[in-house]
Amino acid sequence: MTDKNNTNLRTQRPIVVDCPHFNENNGGAIVLHVLVHRLRALGVEAYAVTLEQDYADIKSPLLRVLKKWNRRRRLGPFRTHPSMDVPLASKEIINQAIVVYPETRSGNPLQSQRVVRWLLHKPGFFGVDAKIGPDEEIFYIAEAFAKDVKNISTDRSLRVSWFRNDIYQNLGLPRVGACRMIRKGKYSNYQIPRFDGTILIDGKKHTEIAKIFNTTEIFYCHDPYTTYAYYAVLCGCVPVVIPQPGLSSEEWRSGMDLKYGIAYGEEEIEWARNTANQLISYMATEKERDAVSLLRFLNTLRLIFD
């Protein structure tokens, strides 16, 4: 019997995930789409819902309408990745569903009575007050993002991944210099160097970044929790996470899976080189860990909402 035909995996209610348009450079958007796709592959009735930005901070009703119209025009119809099965939910489905919101969604705009909050980063990191309700069920993609959340169970890990191993490979090319990524580092309080000779890769396509990772020696990363560090290792470039104020190397590693092959500060570069193969071997089994996590998630939802 295949997983898709195993009714023991399914919840009685559909699951609706709050998804923005798919963006291959946005890790949060990627995993939200992947969650729907993986649930449907298990036979679960899962869908996406895409919510408009409300522009509540704009006082003029006319300007709010214009902002919403312009955003719809700019984004166009809902987009997912061609390889994924991510249909949109109808209003009837949403009314009876379990709704999954990321921590970047404020409150419960769908007014669902069955809410799951999935922490894809620390709540409030992006300046959004999630307004997590007392009855919401909280899960996290990495333990580091739940450290400041009270009374959260240790079995609430919900992990899905989508790696571009087809693009990020070590081509054995000559290397010189370094590259740098800021991304979420812009929300930190430390000084970010400018015009220091490193190649800035923010905003570049995956194929461009893979080429840069293959021709540079060091990847300075100001975003401490990003898959790009793993991609750099796959290409033979040493990732160096810029240490965060008040966060030691031990504390940083304790909250994530990328425990090898990545330097936390320049003093760990040689250690990162020596442990790169351990990281690659570990990440090769990521799909198995994802599957265990997803089944545990479904079992928890059945116990609570069915």
More confident residue, 192 or 167: 167
Q: Are residues 142 and 190 in the same domain?
A: no
In a domain, 297, yes or no: no
Q: List all residues 6 or more positions away from 134 whose beta carbon is below 8 Å from its beta carbon.
A: none
| Ramachandran bin of 237, using left for φ above 0, alpha for ψ from -120 to 50, beta for the remaining angles | beta
Q: What is the pLDDT of residue 228?
A: 93
pTM above 0.75, yes or no: yes
Q: What is the pLDDT of residue 240?
A: 96
End of a domain among 114, 132, 162? Answer: 162
Q: Kindly state the greatest CA–CA separation across the chain.
A: 59
- Domain assignment present for residue 109? The answer is yes
Instruction: Note whether 148 and 188 are same-domain residues.
Output: no
Secondary structure percentages of the chain, helix, strand, coil, to 5: 35, 15, 50
Looking at the fold, whether 28 and 99 belong to one and the same domain comes out as yes
Tell whether the model's pLDDT for residue 6 goes beyond 60: no
Tell me how far apart the alpha carbons of residues 55 and 78 are, in angstroms, rounded to a whole number.
20
Across the range 184-191, mean pLDDT stands at 62
pLDDT digits (tens, 9 = 90+) for 275-295: 999 988 888 888 888 999 999
Count of beta carbons in the 10 Å neighbourhood of residue 262: 26
Boundary of a domain, candidates 138, 162, 186: 162
Is residue 62 very low, low, confident or very high in pLDDT (cuts 50, 70, 90)?
A: confident
Same domain, 86 and 118: yes
- pLDDT tens digits for range 11-48: 789 999 999 999 888 889 999 999 999 999 999 999 99
**Backbone φ and ψ of 39, nearest 5°:** -65, -45
For residue 138, which phi and psi values (nearest 5 degrees)?
Answer: -105, 130
Higher-pLDDT residue of 144, 70 = 144
Chain segment 88-137, per-residue pLDDT in tens = 999 999 999 999 999 989 899 999 999 999 999 888 877 778 888 899 99
Same domain assignment for residues 153 and 195? no
The mean pLDDT of the chain is 86
- Look at residue 173 and tell me if it is in a domain: no
Domain housing 200: 178-283
231 and 113 within one domain: no
